[in-house]
Structure 1
Amino acid sequence: MARDQIKVPFGYVEPPQTRKGTVFVFETFEDWTEADMQAFALWAEERKFVRAIFYPQHEETLRRMDIPSKEPYYARVKHLESLLRHADTTIQLDLDTWEGKRKKYTPMDTSLHFLTDKTPGPHFLCISDRYANQFITYPSFKEWIKRLRLFIINQFHVPLNAKLHDYADRWETVDLGHES
């Protein structure tokens, strides 16, 4: 394969990249408000992410994860679309509805493979504290914590699983001002 040649002036130094990669947000999104979305967008801008992908999960997936959801998938997607339309931000906010097309249980591992394969890295995962406690129990967690950085939203104020402290350098907590 031939390489593309480019011409640059003598002494040219490529400017450092100021933007990071893609952050995936896994959540039910049924209790998110415009203020929550603005708080997330502000946080993502401060972190200098290029793109945020919101990934609502199908109710069958949530049921298998023991995460309660009052609203059906399509209603949560509609609500999230409305929030994304009204978000005022400089980063690209996208909604991925692949799990809704599947209409069945999708393991978190499968969803993460799907998202990381189609988006440029580096990759970050933003999940609530109750999702984090579920994610740490999966056998694939050890593989994923090496491939992406984890941000845990203090949304439900539940104590975090003690196993997370073994990976303290790969995750951090985020407070977006949720009032749950």
Structure 2
Amino acid sequence: MKRDIQHVPYGYEAPPAGRKGTLIFYDSFEHITGEELMKAAAAAAERKFSKLVLYPLHEETVRRMTKEPVKPLYKREDRLHEWKREQGQSFITVEGLEGKRKKYTPLDTALRHIAGVYAAPYFLYLTPDMANLFASFSSFEEWIVKLRLLLSEAPAQVHPRLEKFRHRWDVAGGDGMPHTP
């Protein structure tokens, strides 16, 4: 009989039974309200994710992706950390990769980092605009088979690639079925 030995870091605690996977809220968090953060946390709890990762984007990343002016990253991160403390939930994490890099971080790099740090399966929690933007990237089809999307609300316009992979995304608070526009 073969035995597999697993090594875990000191202080490791197994996730609560029945919980698995990571929900990553990938956004600039410039226009995301406290109610929208609560909706994401509720979706993570309802779907029994072991982690909700808030991934705020660096100013340079936002500038290259959307050409939209945003507040400095540290101000948006401070607001997220404050919201996290108010919630008192241990499964919520604010990812600091963009703050460490201090420059533009391609989505591919961010997703590879997330895959290396957090437990699978992976779900990206996106606004409809961010989902359409993600679908416009050339690497979308490579990533959509490795993760699923959970949209904060039903999109008014659906990118053709997003339409093609309709079975890989859902709307938060929906009936569990992909949205049909």
User: Does TM, scored on the shorter chain, surpass 0.5?
Assistant: yes
RMSD after superposition:
2.2
Gaps of 5+ in 2: 6-16, 175-181
1:3-42 matches, within 5 Å, as: 3=3, 18-42=18-42
Query: Runs of 4 or more off by more than 4 Å in structure 1?
Result: none
- Look up the SS of the partner of 1:20 in the other structure: coil
1:76-155 matches, within 5 Å, as: 76-89=76-89, 92-154=91-153
**Normalised TM-score (structure 1):** 0.81
- Look up the SS of the partner of 1:52 in the other structure: strand
Distance between the aligned counterparts of 2:168 and 2:144, measured in 1? 7
- Look up the SS of the partner of 2:137 in the other structure: coil
- Look up the SS of the partner of 1:110 in the other structure: helix
Distance between the aligned counterparts of 2:134 and 2:35, measured in 1? 27
Distance between the aligned counterparts of 2:100 and 2:94, measured in 1? 13
Residue 175 of structure 1, CA deviation: 5.7
- 1:67–1:84: structure 2 CA closer, same or farther, 3 Å change rule? farther
What number of residue pairs does the alignment pair up? 162
Q: Give the structure, 1 or 2, with the largest relative contact order (CA under 8 Å, sep 6 or more).
A: 1
Any idea what the Cα deviations from partners look like across 1:124-156, whole Å, max 9, x if unmatched? 11111111111111121111100011112228x
Residue 101 of structure 1, CA deviation: 1.2
Gaps of 5+ in 1: 6-16
Residue 116 of structure 1, CA deviation: 0.6
- 1:67–1:151: structure 2 CA closer, same or farther, 3 Å change rule? farther
Distance between the aligned counterparts of 2:120 and 2:64, measured in 1? 29
State the one-letter code of the partner of 1:171.
Answer: W
Distance between the aligned counterparts of 1:65 and 1:31, measured in 2? 15
The percent of aligned pairs where both chains have the same amino acid is 36
Moved more, 59-68 or 48-57: 59-68
Higher Cα radius of gyration = 1
Distance between the aligned counterparts of 1:152 and 1:39, measured in 2? 11
Distance between the aligned counterparts of 1:101 and 1:165, measured in 2? 35
**Normalised TM-score (structure 2):** 0.81
Distance between the aligned counterparts of 1:120 and 1:164, measured in 2? 25
8 Å CA contact 2:24, 2:53 repeated in 1: yes
